Amino acid sequence: MGLPAAPLEDMAIADWKRVVDTNLNGMFYGIQNAFRVMKAQQPMGGRIINNGSISAHAPRPHSIAYTSTKHAVTGLTKAAALDGRRYEIAVGQIDIGNAQTPLAARMAKGVPQANGEIAAEPLMDVAIVGQSVLYMASLPPEANILFHTVMATKMPFVGRG
């Protein structure tokens, strides 16, 4: 779910760079290389599923680097989906909220909320994320899910902020 919470003024430039290199630059170069391969193969085309985040829609406190890069992933997804049409490349994005992973385990213990409180948040089985990706990947070439949000049912996403 991104870096540990830290106020903007406390976040080191190296932390920002690491988040940008991972979430934005890595995604950009990955899409670029996938396009190169998918355009050259016979038959031409393929499917790309980007890892977005619901934080791009409703950020958490102290998540400026993570949130801004996930906003950028949404832009990359839209632009690549448009540019991929002529090459039979479908591009979509999955936005995941509170899947039970070691990184997200802290959510169950309590994380900062928009109102300043610390609150525990529910988690969902990470296998559900895998099922969602499999569904997106299994669509026929003429169909695409541009954006798919999967989250714990009681996660404070709707109404957050």
List the catalytic residues.
66
How many other CB atoms are found less than 10 A from the CB of residue 149? 15
Rounded Cα–Cα distance for residues 137 and 145 (Å): 9
Of 152, 94, 101, which Cα lies nearest the Cα of 124? 152
Question: What's phi and psi for 63, nearest 5 deg?
Answer: -125, 30
Strand, coil or helix: 96:
strand
